[in-house]
Amino acid sequence: MRTARVAMLREIRPPQERPFRIEEVEIPPLTEGAILARMVMAGVCGTDVHILRGQVPIQVPAILGHENVARVEEIGGEKPLRDITGKPIQVGDLITWLPKSCMQCYNCTILKDPSKCERRLGYGGWIPAWEHPYLVGGFAEYVWLLPGSDIVVVNDVAPEAVVLGDALRVMVHALDRIGGLDYGDAVVVQGSGAVGVMGALLAKDAGASQVIVVGGPAPRLDLVRELGADAVIDIFQAKAPERIARVLEMTGGRGADVVLEATGVPSAVAEGLEMVRINGRYVIAGHYGDAGTVPLNPHLINRKQVTITGAWSADNSHFLRGLALLRKLSPEALSKLVRPRFTLDEVNEALIATERQESVKAVITP
């Protein structure tokens, strides 16, 4: 009997309580079209922390890890398999995989919005780990990918870049929602976690003349500044009224053309609406968990005619388009963005580090 080591989550408890236990799980034989892949790297996401805090509901036992790169070890059956771009999938290929939308529900077919699929199958917490095929998350030695999974062959992309794709696709989606940036736009990004940092790099790459990141702590701001942001505002140094005043000062008193929210903090939305210009656009993308309510002044929205929208996760196209930016990141930039590294045995430490928000993307390399 072949087994794989996994970081099993049997109870939802905060990172500090070290909720993961390493267990051995049997690797089921492959069925036609299934793939057994050996994990190369799994990103630890802010969403994983929210899951452990009970803010993003999932069922346990679960195997987390949804930002994955793995090497194909075995393919079930004889039929040739292809990834979502049509490339053949072969033993030895480096792959990642995306949440699977059903393409049959109301949201998939009538609304044509697979990011809102009613029956979305997400590896790394949303596919049950208590039934076949068990190995359904990236915090493990092996994953067992169901036939028909949405796989992308990423032989030509650094694993560190691929794990950033989960955060980046949310921001590609956010820009999509507002019809993209106009060349030369001034953009404020609220938040300096992985989504915020990738949003800043994306905005710069998409032609923003000015990218201002409002976030913290300082090491993450220093990094995003080094990688291309024009200005940063540290939330631990400046209170909200000062932050708003500084954005207005840097944008000729008018405010930013576009504000991208990636904080998950309700008060950031009230603040962001003060930073956007007349006829400006505001996208809420950081509230994947329900963090509660906040008082807003509707007069502000009315007077400034602000367009406000949300961007929920992303669909396959957003991930694929994000690869264009990920391929441009230098090995040096990647080594600064993707750190620290942990082994599978150190999974609890990886979650604690992510909760402390000191780095952009911690990873597990089994």
* Residue nearer to Zn ion on the CB measure, 106 or 236: 106
Distance CA 19, CA 7 (A): 9
* Residue nearer to Zn ion on the CB measure, 133 or 138: 138
* Residue nearer to Zn ion on the CB measure, 27 or 350: 350
CB of 116 to Zn ion, least distance (A): 8
* Residue nearer to Zn ion on the CB measure, 193 or 255: 193
Which positions from 35 through 54 interact with Zn ion, judged by CB under 5 A? 45, 47
CB of 99 to Zn ion, least distance (A): 10
53 phi-psi bin (left φ>0, alpha ψ -120 to 50, beta other): alpha
Distance CA 289, CA 47 (A): 8
CB of 180 to Zn ion, least distance (A): 23
Q: Should residue 108 be labelled a site residue for Zn ion when binding is judged by CB under 5 A?
A: yes
* Residue nearer to Zn ion on the CB measure, 118 or 242: 118
Using the contact rule CB under 5 A, the part of the chain among 108-116, 174-182, 237-245, 255-263 near Zn ion is 108-116
Q: Should residue 308 be labelled a site residue for Zn ion when binding is judged by CB under 5 A?
A: no
Using the contact rule CB under 5 A, the part of the chain among 97-105, 184-192, 254-262, 325-333 near Zn ion is 97-105
* Residue nearer to Zn ion on the CB measure, 105 or 291: 105
Q: Should residue 218 be labelled a site residue for Zn ion when binding is judged by CB under 5 A?
A: no
Among 12, 105, 238, 240, binds Zn ion (CB under 5 A): 105
In sequence order, which residues have a C-beta less than 8 Å from that of residue 334 and are 6 or more positions away?
Answer: 158, 160, 161, 164
Tokens of 65: 């890890």
Q: Should residue 262 be labelled a site residue for Zn ion when binding is judged by CB under 5 A?
A: no
**Site track 136-175 with Zn ion (rule: CB under 5 A), x = hit:** ------------------------------x---------
**Rg of the chain over all Cα atoms, to the nearest angstrom:** 20
Nearest to 169 by CA among 317, 362, 350, 55: 317
CB of 333 to Zn ion, least distance (A): 20
Question: Measured at the alpha carbon of residue 282, what is the angle toward residues 277 and 285, in degrees to the nearest 5?
Answer: 155
CB of 45 to Zn ion, least distance (A): 3
The answer to whether 316 and 98 have CB atoms below 8 angstroms apart is yes
The full DSSP string for 12-69 is ---GGG--EEEEEEE-PPPPTT-EEEEEEEEE--HHHHHHHTTSS---SSB----EEE
CB of 239 to Zn ion, least distance (A): 30
CB of 110 to Zn ion, least distance (A): 10
Distance CA 40, CA 344 (A): 11
Q: How many CA atoms lie within 13 A of 68 on its CB side?
A: 33
Rounded to 5 degrees, φ, ψ at 360 are: -85, -50
Q: Should residue 102 be labelled a site residue for Zn ion when binding is judged by CB under 5 A?
A: yes
* Residue nearer to Zn ion on the CB measure, 244 or 311: 311
Tokens of 220: 């993450």
* Residue nearer to Zn ion on the CB measure, 107 or 209: 107
Q: Which residue is nearest to Zn ion (CB)?
A: 45
**How many residues bind Zn ion, per CB under 5 A?**
8
CB of 107 to Zn ion, least distance (A): 6
**Site track 113-142 with Zn ion (rule: CB under 5 A), x = hit:** ----x-------------------------
Four-point Cα dihedral 21, 22, 24, 28, nearest 10 = 80
Determine whether 211 is exposed, middle or buried from the number of CB atoms within 10 Å of its CB (0-12, 13-18, 19+).
buried
Burial 94-107 (b: 16+ CB within 10 A, else e): bbbbbbbbeeebeb
* Residue nearer to Zn ion on the CB measure, 141 or 315: 315
Distance CA 141, CA 221 (A): 33
Q: Applying CB under 5 A, which residues contact Zn ion?
A: 45, 47, 101-102, 105, 108, 117, 166
